[in-house]
Amino acid sequence: MEIFCGRCKKHFECKEDMILEKSNSLLYLKCPYCQKVLTHQKDASVPFFIPTIVRQQLYDLGYSRWDVDNMTPQTAQEIIQKRLCKSRGESKQESLSAEERGQLAHEIVGWLIVHDEQTKPQTLELKPGHNYIGRKSESKPVPLGIETDDLAMSRWHCDIEVTYNDKLNDYDFIIHDMQSRNGTILNGRVQRKLHEKDLIYLNNNDTFQLGITKIAFRKNSGIQKKEKVVKEVLDSPYQPTLVVSKDKIEHLYK
């Protein structure tokens, strides 16, 4: 299989030892000439996309630009997830064993349930650390991708950071817009449209809007099963869709 690298403009034959990861129809590999990490889909190869805000978090952790350029999105997500110094507090985190920290990182602490007239129902799982959400795309894959035709939703739209609050003995869910095209709106109110530097605490039963798609947030209380929580949301009335600028949304579909 011949691959074309968009950075060095060279063609090369893909070999097994070049492959870094495989995911459904995507192949993750490294160019043997310039060492750029590429994603291959059918007949096209493009460099990996890691958003600026994620890059900055990696730089803050001490990774160089070269390191980040050669990471897959999955690797970047795993590194960010390990920032559990806020989850359960640094002192408690230090007392956890490696096995306990691993279990904590994979604990399902909440759900995002797509409940919208135009997009099919979907349920996304929230875990401690950063949870990046956006429109599903194979060219710019996001860890929590939503299958939708809503072009007003960015491919990397927002982040929900889950941290443990020792005082409340519970998790905090902090939502942050990732410089998306059309912003993130909380509970159908234009006054609660998130700006770039806003960090907003989500409450159980909140609904937020990405593009024109509405998503319900539910905490995992450990009492109700996931199936029951999802059914309750899907059986509830749709929340109103807020279009901040009709012209701004409509031009995306022309």
> What is residue 105's predicted lDDT score, i.e. its pLDDT?
53
| Mean per-residue pLDDT over the chain, rounded | 78
> What is residue 251's predicted lDDT score, i.e. its pLDDT?
47
Number of domains present in the structure of the chain: 2
Whether residues 90 and 20 share a domain: the answer is no
DSSP 130-173: EEEEEE--SSS--SEEE----TTS-SS-EEEEEEEETTTTEEEE
Residue-wise pLDDT for 217-230, tens only, equals 999 988 888 999 99
CATH of the domain at 218: 2.60.200.20
pTM above 0.85, yes or no: no
- Residue 14: domain span: 1-47
Whether residues 25 and 115 share a domain: the answer is no
Residue-wise pLDDT for 149-184, tens only, equals 999 999 999 999 998 887 887 899 999 999 888 889
Whether residues 33 and 134 share a domain: the answer is no
CA separation for the pair 42, 198 (Å, rounded): 39
Cα angle 241, 242, 247 (rounded to 5 degrees) comes to 115
Q: Are 236 and 115 within 8 A, CB to CB? A: yes
36 within a domain of the structure (yes/no)? yes
